[in-house]
Amino acid sequence: MAIDTATAPRDGDYLVRTDGTVHAGTHVLVDFWDASHLDDAAIVESALREAAAACKAELLHIHVHPFQENGGVSGVAVLAESHISIHTWPEIGYAAFDVFMCGRCEPENAIPVLRRRFRPGRESVEVRRRGVLG
């Protein structure tokens, strides 16, 4: 979904205008199965940084937490425009990503970065407009 530049956010306005609608943000939900590197906190952090940059988002903070019990990793990139998060279950090869952004960001640009970093065997992607006005 491309941002309509004719009605893109104005200074101080972080609403998104696409296809004739105005909404608070775009939410991309991504599920990966049969994925790689799900137990590697360094790769998770690097992927979050790269995904934020690809989306043209302003990174404010990253926190990544590896779990000893199952080797899973949870991480969040806090953005000026919202967030990107990941939760992994390496024991079943599954990862859940949540990419939510407002303003001029392009949250769908996170998907190719995540695919390249985690190499899923299969995936599911859902894109939603959140906070649709009118």
**Which listed residue (36, 102, 105, 124) is catalytic?**
102
* Among 23, 27, 37, 82, the one annotated catalytic: 82
Q: For this structure, is 61 an active site residue? A: no
* 75-114 per-residue burial string, b: 16 or more CB within 10 A, e: under 16: bbbbbebbbbbbbbbbeebbbebebbbbbebebbbbbebb
- Reply yes or no on whether 87 is catalytic: yes
105 is catalytic: no
CB 35, CB 107: distance < 8 Å: no
Among candidate residues 74, 83, 85, 87, the one labeled active-site is 87
Check: CB of residue 60 under 8 Å from CB of residue 40. no
Active site (catalytic) residues: 82, 87, 102
